[in-house]
A and B are shown apart, each in its own frame.
Chain A
Amino acid sequence: MTVRNTRNRKRNRILRRMLECAALLSLCLLSGCWDKLELEEQAFVVVIGLDKGPRNTVEVTFQIANPQIGSSDIGTAEGEPPSDTIRFTSSDILSAKELANTVITRTINFAHLKTMIVSEELARDEIFPHIAGAAIRDPELRREVAMIVSREKAFDFIMKNRPRLETRPHKYYELMQQRWMETGYVPFSTLNQYLQQQVTDSMFLAIYATARQHNHRVSRHEDAYLAGQVPKRAGDPVQMIGAAVFHNGRMVGTLTGEQMRWVQMLRHKASVDAFITSFSDPLEEDAMVTVRLFKNGNTKIKFDLRKEVPRIHVTLPLRIQLLSFTSLEPYATDPEMQRMLIKHLKEQIESELLEVIRLSQKKFPGDPFEWELFARKHFMTMPAYQAYGWSKHFKKAKVDVKVELRLENFGKQRTPYMQTKRKEG
């Protein structure tokens, strides 16, 4: 009896072992592996261009990085270009991705897509929100992709963009994105923001760019340009300045680089902390004063929404460093003149801000300052806010702007030499 029991137990144990092994094996065989793809079997799309095609189609341009150029000394392939650009006409981005494999030997991968360039023509078209929305159904396509609106066809833009200092296209966009954050000439715009702000009352601002020189004009304000207007010679033809304004997913207008900067400042939290700009000199008509502006805390926005014409009070704290003034007036030594200068700058900034606000009230169907987020707080429920209709009221609103300006210093020098001497004397 006992012998049989032991034998049974032994057999059971072996059976269990075999079952365990089978389970483990099936785990290996039934799972994973299909997504597996070696790096060199994939083509990494760095830039996507979108143009309007015939009969509700889109022309999708892929710029595919060639890993063998400029990345590693060992794997270099002589004579190959750093990237390949191909255009397909298709109903949307994802079908174009499949179609691309009729030409490209490797699996198209969007995982390293940095930038999406949309032609102004398509951006203003009613089908654009659908095309952009459908694209992100592919998990590979990241929402952090930067969105740029080009004045000409995206295909031309990509073809013309030949940065001199960067061989590889992804590096160009990576570096440009960092510069955008610093100068504030263009908004920080990603696909994610575009999708988010489709459903809100604020407007989405996208980077505005062109690879073509439009009307070459020289402004005394170095930043009052749209893309294509920047006076420059030689170099890469691409310029990025100003913003394309979107409402409900469609482009409705543009902002110049200067306006863009003030919009950034008027937002509660600016994505740009400091920029250099210039104003006219209070004492001399033709002379300019160049200053570096810092945002000195968050913009305070107060609403009075009880009346039919809402009132909005905006307080913008700013710090400035005086960098240069061509009038050569003794601002540094004379406190009286400094006070005058500050007053003058303050008035100028306030008028520029008001101009931007007035412009957006007049020309755009919503507010680009994201004030909507603060206006919402004045309503108990979301339906109450929606019933109020922020965009409609914003257009009528009376806005006053107050700038709190502090002159920090005259550039590098802490105290002017003359003042130090006077104190000692």
Chain B
Amino acid sequence: MTTRQDGKTELSAQLAANLERLKRDFSWPQNQSLVIRNLVVAALKRDAAVLYLEGAADIEEIERRIIEPLVARGPSEFKNADPLDVVRLEIVTHRTGKAAETFDEINGDLLNGWTVLLIEGADRALLFETRGFESRQVPEPIVEHVIRGPKEAFTESAAFNRSLVRKYLRDRHLVAETLTIGDRAASEVTLMYVKDLADPNIVDEVKRRIREVRTDAVTSLPLLEQYIDENPYSLVPNALHTERPDRACAFLLEGHVILLMDNSPAAMVLPITLWSLVHSAEDHYMRWAYSNFMRIIRLLALFVAVLTPSVYIAVSTFHEEMIPSDLLLAIAATREKVPFPALLEVLLMEFAFELVREAAIRVPTVIGPTIGIVGALILGQAAVEANIISPILVVIVAITGISSFTIPEPSLNVTVRITRFILLFAGAFMGFYGIALALACILAYLTTYTSYGVPFLSPLTPHYRSSADMILRLPVHKERIRPHNLNPRDAVRRPERKSKP
């Protein structure tokens, strides 16, 4: 056993020594995960050992494709002289097979579910890919649920996810690059992009940031998102997670880059714009008019979710002349017995609503439904009857809450909820003037914000050529131009049709 110059230890020719080293590396026998199966290769008349990690490898595949041929094949004439080549090329029927010289390589591959074959007298090991991590079946999307459109979602297996992406996008230019991050538990990140579409600068930038991550372990995509985020303190998200392979492919075709990782049932899309956050997966599956109708509703909902409480406060404490007299008197009548100022009322209700929402996520699913009932009953009706809040506030908080549920992207959802409080205080301080000031600041910030070099509000502002798939969308046959803010290498989706059909 010799240590090479690069610090890696080479295998020796003795099987026992190699085994001893591997047992030590994996703390065998305390660690029962390492399975060692001793056997005799009948054809070569040599001792051998098959090693794999329980849980990581597919046992049935090992038995059928590796152990069985090794034991069953009797002595005969072989074309190769080297025993390793004999085993790899002429005995074992497994679809993969490679030789490894160092323990470091063996250890890494064992952890990834590979099987190791050590043979007496050989100073190299044979490795077979027998990944067999437990994984779910292809699930239905839970977050990005659609009525029309595919019902497949990513799972926790990156290989599986890659195959899903490839299934939806059968393009030979679809590149899947693998990068490794983390020092202790190295994990693989797959970077996928369409080579003749994606801007090489963006691809390089993403790769650079992934390589610059310096940490022990990055176990999943949401963590990776935070490690490579350029504005970690910003309220605005910098990446988008989708659990739908079809949506991931739509982004790939626009020139975005997606990242896949084991243990993350989602694809991370980079870079993003505001539009990608407010669009839903279904927008392009519905006909032009229907999807635009839904988009208008969602856009209004976004404004309602951001502005309603602050506008209410501003109007009721600064600009009461704006309320129709009937409503004004109704509000004033119900407010008369409420002991708190309107701002405190709104804060109370918003706080209660956020509580219900947080509780609904954290609570075990078994008692989940009760939260809704208790929340609605106690917070709404009872609070009004107890004169803690006025009834109009139940309407306002409810409409705000419902509206915020229409925002499809969870990150943007939280952004909206926090922004609402900022505007609420602005409105309570200075009325509409304050709201207008705060909105101007927010807009100014959004125009300067970038995601991996792409302006957040582009292609609207700064303006780039695109198919105007922003607030509304065009009919699909007119969506010919790829958004130029991503600097795609191929600007047009397909050559212009000469004549109309």
- Residues of A at the B interface (CB closer than 8 Å) are 28, 31-33, 35-40, 42, 44, 46, 65, 67-68, 71-72, 74-77, 109, 111-112, 114, 140, 142, 168, 170-171, 174
Contact = CB atoms under 8 A, between A and B. Distances in A.
Contact of A33 (B321, B330, B337, B429): B429
A68 B331 CA distance: 10
User: Which of B330, B333, B338, B428 has its CB near the most chain A CB atoms (within 10 A)?
Assistant: B333
Given A72-B333, A111-B321, 12 more contacts: A36-B317, A39-B320, A39-B342, A65-B329, A67-B330, A67-B332, A68-B336, A71-B330, A74-B334, A75-B336, A112-B321, A171-B326
18 contacts: A28-B429, A31-B429, A31-B434, A33-B430, A35-B318, A37-B317, A39-B335, A39-B342, A40-B332, A42-B332, A44-B328, A74-B384, A75-B330, A75-B337, A168-B326, A171-B325, A171-B326, A174-B325
B74 interface: no
A168 B321 CA distance: 18
Interface in B183-240: none
A101 to B, nearest CB: 17
Interface in B146-172: none
A38 B333 contact: no
B317 A38 contact: yes
Nearest to B433: A32
**Interface class of chain B by DSSP:** helix
A74 B318 CA distance: 24
B429 A44 contact: no
B381 to A, nearest CB: 11
A109 B333 contact: no
Contacts, number: 94
User: Which of A38, A140, A142 has its CB near the most chain B CB atoms (within 10 A)?
Assistant: A38
A114 B341 CA distance: 27
B330 A72 contact: yes
Give 4 closest A-B pairs by Cβ, nearest first: A75-B333, A32-B430, A111-B321, A67-B332
Interface residues of B, number: 28
Interface string B351-367: 00000000000000000
Nearest to B340: A38
A158 to B, nearest CB: 17
A44 B327 CA distance: 13
A39 B321 contact: no
B391 interface: yes
A45 to B, nearest CB: 11
A31 B341 CA distance: 19
A39 B391 CA distance: 14
Contacts of B321: 111-112, 140, 142
Contacts of B391: 72, 74
A32 B333 contact: no
Interface in B292-340: 316-318, 320-321, 325-326, 328-338
B252 to A, nearest CB: 40
B332 A31 contact: no
B113 interface: no
B431 interface: yes
Contacts of A109: 320
B73 to A, nearest CB: 69
A35 B333 CA distance: 21
A31 B431 CA distance: 11
A39 B314 CA distance: 11
Contacts of B332: 39-40, 42, 44, 67, 71
Interface string B421-448: 0000000111101100000000000000
A33 B333 CA distance: 23
A41 to B, nearest CB: 9
B331 A36 contact: no
A36 B384 CA distance: 24
Nearest to B319: A111
User: Which of A35, A36, A171 has its CB near the most chain B CB atoms (within 10 A)?
Assistant: A36
Contacts of A36: 317-318, 428, 431
A112 B328 contact: yes
A38 B342 contact: yes
B329 A71 contact: yes
Contacts of A142: 321
B317 A67 contact: no
Nearest to A31: B430
Contacts of A42: 320, 332
A327 B338 CA distance: 66
Contact of B341 (A38, A46, A72): A38
A109 B318 CA distance: 12
Contacts of A76: 333
B325 A170 contact: yes
Nearest to B315: A39
A421 to B, nearest CB: 51
B92 to A, nearest CB: 60
A200 B147 CA distance: 66
A326 B317 CA distance: 60
Nearest to B437: A27
